Amino acid sequence: MKRLVRLYPGAWRRRYGDEMTRLLDDLGPMPPGARMRTGIDLIRGAIDAHLTRGWDMNQDTRAALRRAVAVAAVVWAGLSVDVVLSNVVFPSVEDDDGVSVLIAYAAVFAALLLTGVLAARVTPSRRTQALAGAVAGVLIGVATIATFAVVDNAFLGTISHQQAKIDGLANSGMTSMRAYVNASLAMGGIGLGAFFGAAGAGLSVLGGILAQRYRIGGAEVEPEPGA
């Protein structure tokens, strides 16, 4: 958990880093659910610290980001339920979840498009709409991988019977299923967060354009100087 403090800007760490580290020490060992929530809070705080430092965080921008975080939370909750159902409640040793994965991706992309529509209701700025989509995408990707980490480690006995996991371990050269799973999840978190972040920026801008064109509660766009 302390490693997540490194995600914060240098100036923030110099001012608050020691205090945050002591607070994490005082929390002591935590159950998986609480650990995941704390990790997500730390990541979200790091994103906010970077944004506050590098962007003009006016009221409209903050409102757009709050809506982005709300969308990400709803999507993450839905994906987490799917992860638990497909891997724990109704586990399968076959790699037959292609349709559900496609549906999940479609739902994420639709949510990122919606993020742009919601952001357009408070600001006409394409830059802010792209930022809102990127933040929503990164949060969805990282939080979903965090859910997989909790589920895979808590129910490793069940997860290790999946054929995809068995084949992956054999091809990796590792001898520990837990080490293989966690290494795969670490890489997956980086890749999925980056992918959803980039997709979120583009889809959110598209959502903002659609909201403006079809007047879906979009904010008024001020005319360009001299227009």
Are 40 and 61 members of one domain? no
Indicate if the pLDDT at residue 129 is higher than 50.
yes
Distances (CA, A) of 59 to 123, 162, 171, 201: 10, 48, 51, 20
What sign for the dihedral angle of Cα 73, 61, 54, 18? negative
Residue 90: count other Cβ atoms within 10 Å of its Cβ: 8
The pLDDT of residue 222 is: 43
Domain assignment present for 184: yes
Are 21 and 93 members of one domain? no
148: tokens are 């997989």
Reported as a single tens digit per residue, the pLDDT across 156-194 is 877 777 777 787 878 888 888 888 888 888 888 888 999
Domain assignment present for 7: yes
Domain assignment present for 84: yes
Domain assignment present for 46: yes
Last residue of a domain, one of 54, 82, 98: 54
Are 100 and 206 members of one domain? yes
| Residue 26 CB contacts under 8 Å (≥ 6 apart), including other chains | none
Indicate if the pLDDT at residue 223 is higher than 60.
no
Are 102 and 113 members of one domain? yes
Out of 20-24, 125-129, 154-158, 220-224, the most confident range is: 125-129
Domain assignment present for 136: yes
Last residue of a domain, one of 9, 31, 54: 54
Domain assignment present for 219: no
Indicate if the pLDDT at residue 106 is higher than 90.
yes
Are 112 and 196 members of one domain? yes
Last residue of a domain, one of 54, 79, 99: 54
Q: Which of 186, 94, 193 is nearest to 137 (CA)?
A: 193
Reported as a single tens digit per residue, the pLDDT across 39-79 is 778 887 887 777 665 554 578 888 899 999 999 999 999 99
Indicate if the pLDDT at residue 225 is higher than 90.
no
Are 20 and 124 members of one domain? no
| pTM (predicted TM-score) | 0.67
Are 87 and 158 members of one domain? yes
Are 25 and 78 members of one domain? no
Domain assignment present for 218: no
Which structural domain range is residue 177 located in? 57-213
Structural domains in the chain (count): 2
97: tokens are 């979840």
Domain assignment present for 221: no
Are 81 and 166 members of one domain? yes
The pLDDT of residue 224 is: 38
Are 5 and 76 members of one domain? no
Indicate if the pLDDT at residue 226 is higher than 60.
no
Are 83 and 48 members of one domain? no
Are 65 and 44 members of one domain? no
